[in-house]
Structure 1
Amino acid sequence: MTKKEPIELTNSRYRLGYHVAAPSGWINDPNGFCYFDGYYHVFYQHYPYSAEWGPMHWGHARSKDLVHWESLPIALTPGDKEDEDGCFSGSAIEKDGVLYLFYTGHHYYGDGDKDHFWQNQNMAYSTDGIHFTKYENNPIIAKEPGDNTHHFRDPKVWEKDGVYYMILGSQGEDGLGRAIVYSSKDLLDWEYEGPISRANGLKTEGFMWECPDFFNLDGKDILLLSPQGIDAQGKDYLNLFQTGYFIGDYDYKTATFTRGEFHELDKGHDFYATQTTEAPDGRRIVIAWMDMWESLLPEQEDGWAGALTIPRELRLKNDHLYMTPVKELEDLRIKEVSNDSSVVAKELLVAEDASSSEVLIDIPLTGTNQEEVSFSLKTSNEELVLLTYSKATNEFILKRSDKDDLRYGTIQPCDKLSLRVFIDTSSIEIFINEGELVFTERFYTGEKTDVCVTVSEEETISYTVYQLDDNAVSYN
């Protein structure tokens, strides 16, 4: 039997400089995000033999500082009895110096129907954080609960008071999305606790809850997840599938989660399947897939597809999750390109040739209630990304040149806009007012890109531009 070789990269025109991607081939969800033995590890859903989705492997990268990443060998390869058709998403946890991976085994019934499948939960382990052995008694959870459908995946494991818990995304037999929980004292034998929360309606909260994550932040319990099947509601829930959170309180004795409404975490086109980890200093850090199902991915022509977002810190304030770039990303800065303050009556060119840049912009809002401000990433003949703010409504509207659909987000009334923007070869991440509102986008161009700010009324705009390291990720 001839050994399969990974697909080759044929062009680097859209290749990212400081975002985690695969050496080649397809990636989607981040998995197993953790800190182990002096390194941050992130795994990801990966198909190395094509730039399209295929039987899922676990790709792997690690970093000492959340900035400079090294690609490592594939951690999990499907094909064993417990995961014959894919090693789907999951998580990682350290116990007694061993790193354990928990993942979903995917299985087709063999009738050619890709929607006709079943799933189980499995474990693998490693002492060096690089080479993993699948547990000999897999699966650790052989089948879904009796009141569940075949949608039963994406285990996230954590520990509390000496007990381990696993939350899974699932679909109840009523066709509604839900999150279910298991508990264990040894990571091997798991007891079903039950559903801790379920969708309150098919179109309002979805038919399947993917990639659940559960953690306590600033005294509240957060269920972060990616529901599928939510209908667009005005200017909300406009992506094919959503990613967001519920804030509430979890009773470990009764396995019940009392929670509020669903809120989107990022309002951009390209943000899905989040996973968090707790840093050694207690920060809650999140990373996501920086794409979306059914998006056009021009980089597929070049032998790769997909990437992960920059790591972001989560904070809870006024029942809202704020998301900001982790402080370590300041180490990406190679040099300060500009630092200036200008009185602007119309348009200001903030940065030229910004293909690997961090841009910080402060704009006071001293004008009338009709004042508008716009931020644009553009070439000589095209606005790739245009973000417009209206003081009257506190609303941002984002338009992309390659998309017909707009994206929207609002902030609290304020007297100044602060933007922190990370631009890579084919991605832009925009953080507004300390991460109160975030937009994540992919874009594709062969020309150099400039950053401009336009105001409708005269303002004094302050800005700083940094050139970033575009070789922060090394590939094997």
Structure 2
Amino acid sequence: MEEIKVTNNRFRLDYHLMAKAGWINDPNGFSYFKGYYHMFYQYYPYDSEWGPMHWGHARSKDMIHWETLPIALFPDEKDDGCFSGSAVVYDNKLWLIYTGHHYIDEKKDLFYEDQNLAFSKDGIHFEKYAGNPVLKGPTDNTKHFRDPKVWQENDEFYMVLGSQGDDELGRALLYQSQDLKEWRRVSILAKAKNLKDEGYMWECPDFFRINGQDILLMSPQGLEARGELYRNLNQTGYLLGQLNRKTYELKRGSFEEIDKGHDFYATQTTLTPDGRRVMVAWMNAWDSPMYEKEDGWAGALTIPRELIVKDGKLYQQPVGEMASLRQERIVKEEASGNYQLSRATEFSLETMALGQLFKLSDGEHTLTITREDEKLVLERNTKDGQRSAHITDPVTKLQVFVDASSVEIFVNDGQVTFTERMYWQKAPTLTVQAGSQLEIYRLEENVNRY
């Protein structure tokens, strides 16, 4: 089968990671090995629609400038897809832990899932482990059993897995291993309290500790929209609490959405060599329109974001390495009126204003951010275009990254974020309320090597 090619570059992003062509969704295997950050992603290279999943692969010295590598994993004949997973360094090799997805009857959506290994000595060429699968689904589970995230703690490996219990509620299972090949179940780390508030399946779980707080990051399916909450088809968010080290159960608070935009799903984190917890996500959602499909590609990943716990909440900030993209400071002044942006732009606002804080428009597509009482409202001129976040603190700072078909907004150093795909017909114009302090940078274009 011949790989698809991009036919039009109009929406191709300048500094976000994409595939060279074809479909991508979840980031996988975010890791650091032999001097490079590695990023894998769910990939179908033969069409701009979803198909049997491969693992696409790129590497970077700085998490910003990526070099595309050969496809790391192909589905076997007996597999219907290499679904999401993670990577860990062990025995001087890079190990991939992924879900094998096997259809019994695709038309009836009957399938089963198991967990598998592949490894590489050079971080480029991967070999599947001959003893696969290394873990099959438990008896108290439905068919949903996927997205392993593995980490090493002392001399042991732990794996958190997304699962649906036989009560048809979402949950995260915790497993333990000495060698990545034999696993024993330790606990149900956490499970949904009920269907409408916490969902029927938890995808892409990730478990880590920041500043003494244990955090379970995941993407629950089946939450009911409630006011300004849960407005997308599926959500991504976190549970914050403390792990009981005897029972391995998480004593936790309520589910919190991590991003309030239209186009954010399926996160994965890594721990950098200098100790930062960095997250990326699929910069789309299953109900996103993805107009780039007609150009031979679909999907991209967010910029990398450092996670911080502050005031009992998870904050996310652009990693410091993003500053390396700045080519020229265009503006630093008290704002007044309109500013023409370039394709790749970063701007920041310092303001105490109410009302409309800024507007981006190319004449056809518009995005605004407005402060209303204790809400921050994002509006774009599309169907179901409004999203909002409850925020009682003053909104004093906004940092915004604009690319050829995306906008990422960080409010108050990451207290609130909005992630959006915006299909600009030309570089947008920025309109800012007078009196705000404005800074604009032109960013590097065509950053990644495909």
> Aligned runs of 1:366-405 on 2, under 5 Å?
371-379=354-362, 381-390=363-372, 393-405=373-385
Q: Residue 36 of structure 2 corresponds to which residue in structure 1? A: 39
1:431 to 403, 410, 415: 410
In the alignment, structure 2 segments of 5+ residues that lack a partner are none
Whether 1:463 aligns to 2:438 is yes
Q: Residue 9 of structure 1 corresponds to which residue in structure 2? A: 6
Instruction: Name the CA distance, whole Å, in 1 between partners of 2:344 and 2:151.
Output: 36
Q: Residue 108 of structure 1 corresponds to which residue in structure 2? A: 103
* Cα contact 1:376–1:383 (8 A) shared by 2: no
Which stretch shows the higher mean deviation, 153-162 or 356-365?
Answer: 356-365
* Cα contact 2:269–2:279 (8 A) shared by 1: yes
Instruction: Name the CA distance, whole Å, in 2 between partners of 1:206 and 1:107.
Output: 24
Instruction: Name the CA distance, whole Å, in 2 between partners of 1:211 and 1:167.
Output: 9
**Runs (4+) off by over 3 Å:** none
Q: Residue 356 of structure 1 corresponds to which residue in structure 2? A: 344
* Cα contact 2:404–2:427 (8 A) shared by 1: no
* Cα contact 2:375–2:392 (8 A) shared by 1: no
Instruction: Name the CA distance, whole Å, in 2 between partners of 1:436 and 1:403.
Output: 27
What's the TM-score, normalizing by structure 1?
0.92
* Cα contact 1:410–1:437 (8 A) shared by 2: no
> Aligned runs of 1:66-145 on 2, under 5 Å?
66-81=63-78, 84-109=79-104, 111-113=105-107, 115-141=109-135, 143-145=136-138
Q: Give the AA of the match of 1:125.
A: F
SS at 2:238's partner residue?
strand
Instruction: Name the CA distance, whole Å, in 2 between partners of 1:326 and 1:137.
Output: 39
Instruction: Name the CA distance, whole Å, in 1 between partners of 2:33 and 2:266.
Output: 22
* Cα contact 2:365–2:422 (8 A) shared by 1: no
Which stretch shows the higher mean deviation, 401-410 or 121-130?
Answer: 401-410
Q: Deviations over 1:185-207 (max 9, x none)?
A: 11111011231111000111000
Give the CA deviation at 1:394. 2.8
Instruction: Name the CA distance, whole Å, in 2 between partners of 1:333 and 1:341.
Output: 20
Give the CA deviation at 1:160. 1.4
Change (3 A) 1:267 1:55: same
Whether 1:450 aligns to 2:422 is no
Give the CA deviation at 1:80. 4.6
What number of residue pairs does the alignment pair up? 450
Instruction: Name the CA distance, whole Å, in 2 between partners of 1:26 and 1:33.
Output: 19
Give the CA deviation at 1:383. 4.7
Q: Deviations over 1:231-286 (max 9, x none)?
A: 01111011100000000111233121111000000000000000000011110000
Instruction: Name the CA distance, whole Å, in 2 between partners of 1:403 and 1:14.
Output: 20
2:142 to 135, 149, 168: 149
Q: Deviations over 1:98-147 (max 9, x none)?
A: 110000000001x3425211000000001111111000100001x21110
Q: Give the AA of the match of 1:398.
A: L
Instruction: Name the CA distance, whole Å, in 2 between partners of 1:407 and 1:315.
Output: 24
Q: Residue 368 of structure 1 corresponds to which residue in structure 2? A: none
* Cα contact 1:364–1:460 (8 A) shared by 2: no
SS at 2:113's partner residue?
strand
* Cα contact 2:216–2:239 (8 A) shared by 1: yes
Instruction: Name the CA distance, whole Å, in 2 between partners of 1:114 and 1:319.
Output: 43
What's the TM-score, normalizing by structure 2?
0.98
SS at 1:261's partner residue?
coil
Q: Give the AA of the match of 1:434.
A: D
Q: Give the AA of the match of 2:121.
A: T
Give the aligned CA root-mean-square deviation in angstroms. 1.2
Q: Give the AA of the match of 1:473.
A: N
Instruction: Name the CA distance, whole Å, in 2 between partners of 1:251 and 1:125.
Output: 32
2:255 to 262, 268, 271: 262
Give the CA deviation at 1:294. 2.3
* Cα contact 1:155–1:212 (8 A) shared by 2: yes
Instruction: Name the CA distance, whole Å, in 1 between partners of 2:215 and 2:383.
Output: 32
* Cα contact 2:100–2:115 (8 A) shared by 1: yes
Q: Give the AA of the match of 1:106.
A: H
* Cα contact 2:364–2:425 (8 A) shared by 1: no
SS at 1:299's partner residue?
helix
Q: Deviations over 1:302-346 (max 9, x none)?
A: 00000000000000001111111000000011111121124x5xx
Instruction: Name the CA distance, whole Å, in 2 between partners of 1:383 and 1:16.
Output: 17
2:291 to 291, 295, 298: 298
Q: Give the AA of the match of 2:393.
A: P
Instruction: Name the CA distance, whole Å, in 2 between partners of 1:168 and 1:218.
Output: 24
Q: Give the AA of the match of 1:333.
A: R
Q: Give the AA of the match of 1:250.
A: L
Instruction: Name the CA distance, whole Å, in 1 between partners of 2:2 and 2:148.
Output: 30
Q: Give the AA of the match of 2:369.
A: L
Give the CA deviation at 1:400. 1.3
* Cα contact 2:187–2:247 (8 A) shared by 1: no
Q: Residue 61 of structure 1 corresponds to which residue in structure 2? A: 58
Give the CA deviation at 1:35. 0.9
1:309 to 302, 308, 328: 302
Q: Residue 280 of structure 1 corresponds to which residue in structure 2? A: 273
Q: Give the AA of the match of 1:376.
A: K
Q: Deviations over 1:383-440 (max 9, x none)?
A: 52111112xx2311111122324101122422x5211100000000000110001000
In the alignment, structure 1 segments of 5+ residues that lack a partner are 366-370
